[in-house]
Structures are given as structure tokens and as C-alpha cells.
Amino acid sequence: MPAHDDLIARLHAEFPASAGTESSDLDRAREDRSGHRAPDRPIAVVHPASIDEVQRLLRLANETRTPVVPRGAGTGLAGGAIGGAGAIVLDLSRMDRILELDPLDELAVVEPGVLNGDLNAAASEHGLWYAPDPASRAISSVGGNIATNAGGLLCAKYGVTREAVLGLAVVLADGRLVRTGRRTVKGVTGYDLTALMTGSEGTLGVIVEATVRLRPRPEGDPVTVAAAFADVEVAAAGCAAVTGARLRPAMLELVDDLGLRRVVGHLGPAAIAGTPVEQLAPGEALVIAQADDTDAASRAARIADVLRAAGGRVVVSSDAVASERLIALRRAWHPALAATGEVLIEDIAVPRSKLPDMFRAIADIGRRYGIEIPTLAHAGDGNLHPNFVFTGTEPPAEVWAAADELFRAAVALGGTLTGEHGVGILKRRWLRDELGDDGYDLQRRIKAVFDPAGILNPGVMFDEASAVRR
């Protein structure tokens, strides 16, 4: 792209240690973990080391009207941080320091590139814990978690990322630095821009620092309960019974029959010995619950009683090793699927009470399209991950047609098209359907307040003509 030669020269001159234009660098920034890959390379990838560098880059981008794609660890599942033709990727992974960890105020101040797992390792030395717990925590960054308002397995009890973010430093599209929120647990001065930025997927500003809330680590070992059920709807009813008994497990996962069969095949007989899936009947589904903290044992026993009464074949862990063995059935989900092809992970959420309806809708859609859609649910919060396994680099058209029906079914049940992964570029075409015209219009106008020239992650969330092609 010779049109960008001047810009590339300026980037190298002004960011000699941070601007990269090597093919390998550009190619890495063209994709994330969604399986999607932009058709063209971005102009450059800039790896700033400081807030000042981010500000200078945004000033340059604003002056030249160059689209900027903020990017964390690149583990997103919705194509929200993919660089394409005409864009500069702003890769924040070098800004990975924990600037402060205050055990008395139970907070940390971090740069955006710090990995969730690294922050947790540091916090645990003080008996503290950063609760947002996406399955990707070992490889995803806190900044990316905030930009997508990441969820995870523990949200029904411990909340989503938004609940853990106290304040942010954000570089705006014109290079100005603003600080939102505060270091206090409470505070109602002005509009909650911290919450507005959380989950805004790099379209309103670049998160360059975050003040996050830590909480005491749950005490003792968690206790795990696994229960096999005759089918996925009976399993969903079992989960509903746990909620109805006002027991709030830290984790409540549901693995459907299509997925469970693959998990069992993937793990092999030795790994599943002693678990409820040791003798698996056709159509059976699995529920895995975990109770934590000082009352873990008594709470787990009550959860087991409820699941047993709902028809489950139940095993309760006796110690940390046994617990890990049961949890391994859940952890094997993604490897089991990935072993047989490329995986597209969807991310709908419905009110808990609609889980059986949603499972029925998924089965119906799968039948009509002749596609298996193995589905995993965070049943405690109604978040389902229907998975499509395919061969080749891009999902075939019928997968997208089936996904389209999934999204519409979820929204019709009072749900949402993305529970925790974000809209990105992959789901932007459904945004207006869920928000309605007036809601969509309000959101577009808020975007314009922060980014009047439209240079911040264009094409993410909003399906607009000016989008970077990706």
C-alpha cells in the first residue's frame, strides 16, 4: 500500500522502538481467537510502553484520520481487536506492569496488558483475588477483559468484570487523557463513565490504566459436585432446582450430550473412572457445581441432595484431587472439540428460566441445518456457548445461517446475542435488532461524543460503511 508510505515513515520516526511493520507482526494482528482473519494486513502495529506514547499515537492518528484498533492479548472471540487494511493496531501488551497493589484498600492499579492470571498471582500473596475469571485468564489481559466486560465461570456469585473496575485512565481519540471513577468502593460524583467504558470494545477510548477491586480469597478448598442426567432438559431442570433452593454455587456448569460424548471420548476411560460419566447412556448430559469458602462442604452437600432429587447420578469430591478430577470434565470441553476441527464459539445468554427452551431451540436449529451444535452453559447465569465445529479457515455459510437463528431465538426469549465475548465485528449485524432503533441511535451518538472522527476501532459494534475491511 504505497499510499501509507508517508505514514509508515512517520511511525518509524516518531516511535522508533515501538512501531512494527514486519509481516509476521502484521499477520499476528490480523486475527484473534475467534478463528476469523482479516483479508488484508494492517498498516502497522505499534507497541507503546507508556501512556505518553499512546497519547502521541492517537494525536497522529487523529491528525491523519487513520483508524486505530486497540488490542490486548489478542484472545478475543468476536473479532474486536483485528487489524485490517488501512488501520494501525495499538498493541498494549508491553504495558503490563502492576503499578500498585494495596492490601488495605483491596485494590490494584495496573497497566492494561497485565495478564489476568499474573494479577491474580500477585494478589494471592495478600490473601486477595481479582474475581473476574474468564476461561482464558491465563492468557488474556486485564485491559482486554475490561474492554469486553469479560464474564467467566463465577459470575452468578462474584459478578462480571464491570463490578470489579473502580476507575480507569483512558486516552481519547484526540489524544487527551481522562481519568474516570476513583479508588473508593462507593462514589456517585457524575455519570458512571467507568461502567460506560467497560465493555465498549475499544470504540470510545484506549484504556491505559485500571484501578481494580480485589476481594478476600475464598477460604479452604472448593468442593465439586458432578451429576449426570438423562438429557439436557432434565439437567437444566436440575440447575433450576439448585437456584430455586436458594443455593448459590460459585460455579454451575452444564455440558450437553453432544459435547459430553466428545469430552468422554477425548479424555479416555482412565480419566473418567469414578466420575458420573464412567457409564454414559446415550443422550445424557452433565452438571458440574462448585461450592467455595468456609461453608463449601455443607453447601455442596445440599447442592448434591437437590441434584439427586432432580434425577442426577451424583458424585461429590472428597478432596482437592477428586475435585480437580471432576472439574477436568469441564476443562476438557474446548480441547475435545478442537481436536476434531476448527471451533466457532457462540455466546448467547437467556434468563435462567429459559435454558430448557433455548436448548430445545438449539437442537431444532441443529436438526434443520444438519449440523451438530454441542453446547456448554454457565447455567448459573443463563449464558450458553453453542459451538460449531467445521473444517477449513472460515465457517461455512450454513453455520452463519444457523448462528443467525440462534441469536434471534435468544433475543426472542428475552436474552442477548452476547453474554460475555462482545459484539466485535462478528455480531455487529445483529446489534440493532437487539437494541432497537432508538437504543441503537443513542449508542451511535455516544460514540460520536468520544470519537467524532470515527477513528477508534471502526466497524466494531456498529456496522458502518467506513469500517476497516476485516
**Interface positions, 329-388, toward its own copies (CB under 8 A):** 349-353, 378, 380-383
Choose the binding region for its own copies from 6-14, 101-109, 281-289, 303-311 (rule: CB under 8 A): 101-109
Task: Single out the residue of 62, 149, 290, 375 in contact with its own copies (rule: CB under 8 A).
Answer: 149
Q: How near is the Cβ of 257 to its own copies at its closest, in Å?
A: 23
Q: Looking only at residues 275 through 294 of this chain, which bind its own copies when binding is defined by CB under 8 A? A: 293-294
Q: Does 449 bind its own copies (CB under 8 A)?
A: yes
Cell of 61: 492518528
Q: How many residues bind its own copies (CB under 8 A)?
A: 91
Cell of 174: 484526540
DSSP E strand boundaries for 38-143: 44-46, 68-71, 88-91, 98-102, 107-110, 128-129
Q: Looking only at residues 26 through 45 of this chain, which bind its own copies when binding is defined by CB under 8 A? A: none
Q: Looking only at residues 416 through 445 of this chain, which bind its own copies when binding is defined by CB under 8 A? A: 416-423, 427, 431, 434-436, 438-440, 442-443, 445
Torsion sign (Cα): 396, 402, 405, 411: negative
DSSP E strand boundaries for 39-176: 44-46, 68-71, 88-91, 98-102, 107-110, 128-129, 165-171
Q: Does 128 bind its own copies (CB under 8 A)?
A: yes
Can you list the alpha helix ranges (DSSP code H) found in 230-295?
232-244, 257-267, 269-272
Distance, in Å, from the CA atom of 429 to the CA atom of 404, rounded to the nearest integer, reads 10
Q: Does 193 bind its own copies (CB under 8 A)?
A: yes
Q: Looking only at residues 231 through 270 of this chain, which bind its own copies when binding is defined by CB under 8 A? A: 240, 243-244, 246-248
Q: How near is the Cβ of 248 to its own copies at its closest, in Å?
A: 6
Task: Single out the residue of 5, 99, 124, 187 in contact with its own copies (rule: CB under 8 A).
Answer: 187
Window 200-229: contact mask with its own copies (x via CB under 8 A): x---x----------xxx------------
Helices 431-450, 397-412: crossing angle, 10 deg rounding: 90
Q: Does 104 bind its own copies (CB under 8 A)?
A: yes
Q: How near is the Cβ of 4 to its own copies at its closest, in Å?
A: 31
Q: Does 189 bind its own copies (CB under 8 A)?
A: yes
Cell of 315: 458424585
Distance, in Å, from the CA atom of 92 to the CA atom of 373, rounded to the nearest integer, reads 35
Q: Is residue 365 classed as helix, strand or coil in its secondary structure? A: helix
